């Protein structure tokens, strides 16, 4: 099944050109690693879409297995109200497919924990099992899942690097709905975390992107990002036949203010400055039904 955490994101902050992950339960920062992102996605889901108490979420619980020289660590362990192991959650990178080997690893951890539920996740898909009489059978999530809000508060997106603390007044009015419409309320495009060696922006381009199929051999990855007191950006990366061949970086604050040069297109070592009143209107009116389709069409036109 599609992961319950697929539309949830970890808290982050950028420092010295690097992005760090922040654990809101442990109040600690962690390196930006794939498995850690998935783990904190699940923490975000538990805290925002279930009534699971944060004091019943355990991290890296040590598990001393037989014939092992050192204790292994379970990614997440949910405890019951009686403080007994309730659900073991094993987190993998979003590039790792869930299979029998993944299930066997979780079963090994659980052989001593004896949690009645096991959840395998890569942030894209989830496998849920209930353990009875030593056998694991497919099951539903062992907790109530609330419906996602139509639009999350602006603070949610600011804490996760999707927009900065300083936003143009006109853009600020639309930002919360813009983020929710783009990231949550559409299932037509996958969400992938993409890494880049460098950045055309004063912020890291490593981020979550929505991947849209623009043509048979073309895809466009689009992201919204912003950190601290910096500017707010939309970034689009064009991929043809598996090769990234162009990047469009849009300063959303300048775009809304009508400033020249707010759209920068990078093609084959060339930089081109563009203007688009049509894009400005789309950004400020994200509630329209054809929002995603119109946005993708506009961005693709910049690369023509």
Band of the pLDDT at 70, cuts 50, 70, 90?
very low
107 and 211 housed in the same domain: no
In this structure, what CATH number is given to the domain that contains residue 127? 3.90.1570
268/166 same-domain check = yes
Residues 159, 270 within the same domain: yes
Using one digit for the tens of pLDDT, what is the confidence trace for 169-222? Answer: 999 999 999 999 999 866 678 899 999 887 778 888 899 999 999 888 899 999
- Domain membership of residue 235 (yes or no) is yes
Domains in the chain: how many in total?
2
* Same domain flag for 288 and 187: yes
For residue 52, being part of any structural domain is answered with: yes
61, pLDDT greater than 70: no
Structural domain includes residue 98: yes
- Per residue in 248-279, pLDDT (tens digit) is 999 999 999 999 889 999 988 889 999 999 99
Pair 207, 110 in one domain: no
The string of DSSP letters for the chain reads -B-TTTT---EEEEETTEEEEEETTTTEEEE--HHHHHHHHHHHHHHHHS---GGGEEEEEEE--TT-SS-EEEEEEEE-TTS-EEEEEEE--TTSPP-HHHHHHHHHHHHHH--SEEEEE-SSBEEEEEEETTEEEE---SS--PPPPSS--HHHHHTTTBS-S---HHHHHHHHHHHHHHHTS--SSEEEEE--SS-SSSS---EEEEEEEEETTEEEEEEEEB-TTS--EEEEEEEETTEEEEEEEEEHHHHHHT-TT-EEEEETTEEEEE--HHHHHHHH-TTSTTHHHHHHHHHHHHH-
Whether 299 and 185 share a structural domain: yes
pLDDT at 122 over 60: yes
Q: Within this chain, do residues 164 and 260 fall inside the same structural domain, yes or no?
A: yes
- For residue 113, is it within any domain? yes
- Could you tell me if 20 and 63 lie in one domain? yes
What is the band of 43 on the pLDDT scale with cuts at 50, 70, 90? very high
Let me know whether 258 and 121 are in one domain.
no
Does residue 2 fall inside a structural domain? no
Residue 239 domain boundaries: 154-303
Average pLDDT, the chain: 89
The answer on 287 and 192 residing in a single domain is yes
Last residue of a domain, one of 90, 109, 138: 138
Is 145 within the bounds of a domain? Answer: no
User: pTM score, two decimals?
Assistant: 0.90
């Amino acid at each position: 099944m599609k992961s319950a955490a697929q539309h949830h994101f970890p808290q982050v902050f950028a420092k010295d050109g690097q992005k760090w992950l922040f654990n809101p339960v442990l109040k600690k920062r962690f390196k930006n690693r794939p498995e850690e992102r998935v783990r904190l996605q699940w923490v975000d889901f538990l805290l925002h879409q279930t009534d699971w108490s944060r004091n019943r979420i355990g991290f890296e619980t040590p598990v001393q297995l037989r014939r092992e020289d050192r204790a292994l660590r379970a990614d997440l362990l949910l405890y019951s109200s009686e403080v007994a192991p309730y659900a073991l959650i094993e987190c993998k990178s979003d590039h790792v497919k869930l299979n029998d080997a993944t299930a066997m690893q979780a079963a090994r951890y659980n052989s001593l924990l004896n949690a009645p539920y096991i959840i395998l996740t890569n942030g894209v898909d989830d496998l849920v099992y209930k353990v009875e009489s030593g056998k694991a059978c497919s099951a539903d999530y062992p907790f109530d899942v609330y419906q996602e809000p139509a639009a999350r508060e602006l603070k949610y997106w600011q804490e996760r690097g999707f927009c900065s603390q300083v936003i143009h007044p006109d853009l600020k009015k639309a930002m919360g709905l813009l983020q929710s419409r783009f990231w949550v309320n559409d299932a037509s495009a996958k969400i992938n975390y993409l890494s880049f060696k460098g950045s055309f922006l004063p912020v890291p381009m490593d981020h979550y992107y929505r991947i849209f199929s623009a043509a048979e051999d073309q895809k466009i990855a689009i992201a919204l990002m912003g950190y601290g007191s910096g500017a707010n950006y939309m970034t689009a990366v064009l991929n043809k036949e598996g090769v990234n061949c162009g990047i469009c970086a849009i300063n959303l604050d300048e775009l809304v203010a009508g400033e020249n040069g707010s759209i920068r297109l990078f093609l084959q070592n060339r930089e081109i400055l563009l203007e688009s009143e049509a894009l400005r209107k789309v950004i400020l009116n994200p509630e329209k039904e054809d929002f995603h389709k119109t946005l993708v069409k506009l961005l693709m036109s910049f690369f023509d």
